Chains A and B, each alone.
Chain A
Amino acid sequence: MSESLVVPTMAEMLAEGKQPEVLFWVGCAGSFDDRAKKITKAFVRILNRTNVSFAVLGAEESCTGDPAKRAGNEFLFQMQAMMNIEVLNAYEAKKIVTACPHCFNTLKNEYPELGGNYEVIHHTEFLKLLIDDGRLAVEGGQFKGKKITFHDPCYLGRANKVYEAPRDLIQKLDVELVEMKRSKANGLCCGAGGAQMFKDAEPGNKEVNIERTEDALETQPDIIAAGCPFCNTMLTDGIKNKEKEGQVKVMDIAELIANAQDL
């Protein structure tokens, strides 16, 4: 795979006197987590291929404050929010796309009251728009005929009622989309939300990600599709725990689209 990614920053754009069509909010996981970085790059490959004018904040991006807020630290959240809003407003950002449902939810719902008003969309919605506008053509490629199940991220699904965009994208790949017994509004959490990602679970008799992985495996999928870097980690761990990593892959929808087009 050729890795000649074009990733302009907002600062570079500004220096050239340009305003991108969309600001890509990478998020902490997408920037630092080894697994999530692959999702980031897959999404950028699609953006590059479709000539979408975008830019990232790069070193000027900082945590949205989501895990701090969900852990109960409203101070830290609002500090982060205000700083990010200053940066975003300075660049006159209008439209933001992100591959992380937690960033998506926070930017979309919790920033406006604090002075940050942007059109925020999840990358699955953005990819869907590219297809609908005829800017991106998708074929099944290597995934044709495969069985794929989609795990709804809580902060995309229940929290913001985005259920169809990711499913529409999967169906474009000529695959068999199978639903888990608990999906959409009834979807079961992967176990990472509410800052759980950063702490050990309370005593219990099972890990949430194992429970959810079992839901997914019941559908006997070739691939478990995710739309969130944290869900991705939790389900990947679940698959390892079940010693199924040979048969079942956990992939982000951006990766499915990019790999199907051999990007």
Chain B
Amino acid sequence: MSYLDNILFAIVLIAGFGFFALSVKKIIRNINLGVDVDRKDNPKARWANMAMIALGQSKMVKRPVAGILHIFVYVGFVIINIELLEIIIDGLFGTHRIFAPYLGGVYDVLIASFEILAILVIFAVTVFWIRRNLVRLNRFIHSDLTGFPKSDANYILYFETVLMILFLLMNASDLHLQNVPGGVFHKAGSFPISQFIAPVFNGMSNELVVLLFEAFWWLHIVGILIFMNYLYFSKHLHILLAFPNTYFANLKPEGQFDNLASVTKEVKLMMDPNADPFAAAPADENAVPAKFGASDVQDLNWVQLLNAYTCTECGRCTSSCPANQTGKKLSPRKIMMDTRDRLQEVGKNIDANKGVFVPDNKTLLNDYITPEELWACTSCNACVEECPVNISPLSIIMDMRRYLVMEQSAAPMSLNAMMTNIENNGAPWQYSQQDRLNWKNEN
């Protein structure tokens, strides 16, 4: 009978990680719907970026209040998860604080630091909630953050608070049971925070406190497993994806936009005096005519799709966007959210149709992102610079503009005029190329 607990725990654990593995598989499959782009060059710079930006949070602290509070939560979760290892082993083998005898004094330091971090997490999360719901910072009450994304942000804060409170209650009841006459639990750990909670158990029977301890223990670990599985449905995926996202991020200067290789081929052919314009195209049964630019998620590259899953909707991009600040519809955050929402929709379509995408008469362009948004961008790179995890909304905007112009000839009239001028006379205005040096003799 006494193994029932352990078996139940093993089942819960396997289910929790199993469902999570399925979600991860789906995310990887969806990201791979994007076209290929080589981001394996220069691993040294990539590891350095990941260490600095994801692990070191270097871009978060550019806004110091949010940055430092975020570090509390981030360090808290990373460090407190070390405790998770012990919890899992205890759960599986019916032990209690199995690491304590092996670590001695170090164990006390560890438990004490977990407790201090837990209280810092609760503090930071509370301030986050206040900033979001009472102070109502602009980027948190923005029009592209309504409905689920708004609730999602709060759910995450509630989840974290509850988990930390359960962790502290678990420790407090444990401490109480260590200190009762006769000692139900062996002495282990140092409890700088929960020692102040422990007195609430005074006067309760040992049996009741043991029951409470087990309840806190179970709720805490099950809560963590639920939270882990919630990630897939939430913006909170960034806690995992920030790492690959910063690794695979663009290393080139922000001003350098990629040159479409398919276009290079055609332009070279056009400019080659020896090319035979009437030559039949080389026969390739499987050749798909190149599509220029992006109208849907499958046209974007996999790093852009990874970007979409990584975005945690903090809105720093949108708050720094010149178009958004002056009342235009463009919001770089919405570009990322739309891309992810559409990618999820395409993924569900594939799931529902036995692994094949069945056209649904919808596209990222128009059904999610309108040309008006795309044309408002000044390509100033403020959004790219701001993103704490190196997401590039700009690259998606540019790829969609390419589709509008090269596949649909749907540029605004004035831009068409500008481009006609470049074609005709090599300048965006109607001046003859022969007059380019006239300034030399003008006064």
Q: What is the interface of chain A, defined by CB distance below 8 A to chain B? A: 3, 5, 7, 9, 26, 28, 30-33, 37, 40-41, 56-59, 61-63, 65, 67-76, 78-80, 82-83, 105, 108-110, 113-114, 154-155, 158-161, 185-186, 188-189, 191-208, 210-212
Query: Binary interface profile of B, 368-386, with partner A (CB < 8 Å = 1, else 0)?
Result: 0000100111111110110
Name the CB-closest residue of B to A57. B436
Task: Determine which of B255, B320, B437 lies in contact with A58 in the assembled complex, contact meaning CB atoms within 8 Å.
Answer: B437
Question: How far does the Cβ of B355 sit from chain A's closest Cβ, in whole Å?
Answer: 33
* CB<8 Å pairs between A and B, sample of 22: A3-B443, A26-B439, A28-B427, A28-B428, A28-B429, A31-B437, A32-B435, A58-B436, A62-B426, A68-B418, A70-B398, A73-B402, A75-B266, A78-B263, A110-B257, A158-B255, A158-B385, A159-B255, A188-B325, A193-B378, A194-B379, A206-B327
Cβ–Cβ contact A63 & B426, under 8 A: yes
Question: How far does the Cβ of B177 sit from chain A's closest Cβ, in whole Å?
Answer: 54
Question: How far does the Cβ of A252 sit from chain B's closest Cβ, in whole Å?
Answer: 14
Please measure, in the bound complex, the distance between the C-alpha atom of A32 and the C-alpha atom of B440, giving whole angstroms: 11
Please measure, in the bound complex, the distance between the C-alpha atom of A80 and the C-alpha atom of B425, giving whole angstroms: 11
B440 — which chain A residues lie within 8 A by C-beta?
A: 5, 7
A196 — which chain B residues lie within 8 A by C-beta?
A: 378
Please measure, in the bound complex, the distance between the C-alpha atom of A93 and the C-alpha atom of B401, giving whole angstroms: 33
Of the candidates A191, A196, A203, the one having the most CB atoms from chain B within 10 angstroms of its own CB is A196
Cβ–Cβ contact A71 & B267, under 8 A: no
Question: How far does the Cβ of B419 sit from chain A's closest Cβ, in whole Å?
Answer: 5
Within 8 Å of chain A (Cβ to Cβ): is B289?
no
Interface residues on B, range: 35 or more
Q: What is the interface of chain B, defined by CB distance below 8 A to chain A? A: 252-257, 259-260, 263-264, 266-268, 270-271, 292-293, 320, 322-323, 325-330, 372, 375-382, 384-385, 398, 401-406, 411-412, 414-415, 417-419, 422-423, 426-429, 431, 433-440, 442-443
Given contacts A193-B379, A202-B375, 10 further A-B contacts (CB under 8 A): A7-B437, A31-B435, A31-B436, A70-B379, A70-B398, A71-B418, A74-B260, A160-B254, A188-B382, A191-B322
B427 — which chain A residues lie within 8 A by C-beta?
A: 28, 31-32, 62-63
A160 — which chain B residues lie within 8 A by C-beta?
A: 253-255
Q: Top 8 closest A-B pairs, CB basis?
A: A159-B255, A194-B379, A72-B401, A205-B327, A62-B426, A204-B327, A109-B256, A189-B380
Cβ–Cβ contact B436 & A76, under 8 A: no
B292 — which chain A residues lie within 8 A by C-beta?
A: 74
Given A72-B405, A159-B255, the answer on whether A193 and B380 have CB atoms closer than 8 Å is: yes
A7 — which chain B residues lie within 8 A by C-beta?
A: 437, 440
A199 — which chain B residues lie within 8 A by C-beta?
A: 375, 412, 414-415, 418
Task: Determine which of A68, A109, A186, A207 lies in contact with B252 in the assembled complex, contact meaning CB atoms within 8 Å.
Answer: A109
Cβ–Cβ contact A202 & B328, under 8 A: yes
Question: How far does the Cβ of A153 sit from chain B's closest Cβ, in whole Å?
Answer: 10
B253 — which chain A residues lie within 8 A by C-beta?
A: 105, 108-109, 159-161
Question: How far does the Cβ of A151 sit from chain B's closest Cβ, in whole Å?
Answer: 12
Question: How far does the Cβ of B428 sit from chain A's closest Cβ, in whole Å?
Answer: 5
Cβ–Cβ contact A110 & B437, under 8 A: no
Given A75-B267, A113-B259, A208-B322, the answer on whether A189 and B404 have CB atoms closer than 8 Å is: no
Given A75-B267, A159-B253, A205-B327, the answer on whether A154 and B380 have CB atoms closer than 8 Å is: yes
Given A72-B405, A80-B422, the answer on whether A188 and B322 have CB atoms closer than 8 Å is: yes
Question: How far does the Cβ of A225 sit from chain B's closest Cβ, in whole Å?
Answer: 19
Cβ–Cβ contact B422 & A59, under 8 A: no
Cβ–Cβ contact A71 & B328, under 8 A: no
Task: Determine which of A56, A108, A110, A195 lies in contact with B415 in the assembled complex, contact meaning CB atoms within 8 Å.
Answer: A195
Cβ–Cβ contact B381 & A154, under 8 A: yes
Of the candidates A78, A82, A155, A185, the one having the most CB atoms from chain B within 10 angstroms of its own CB is A78
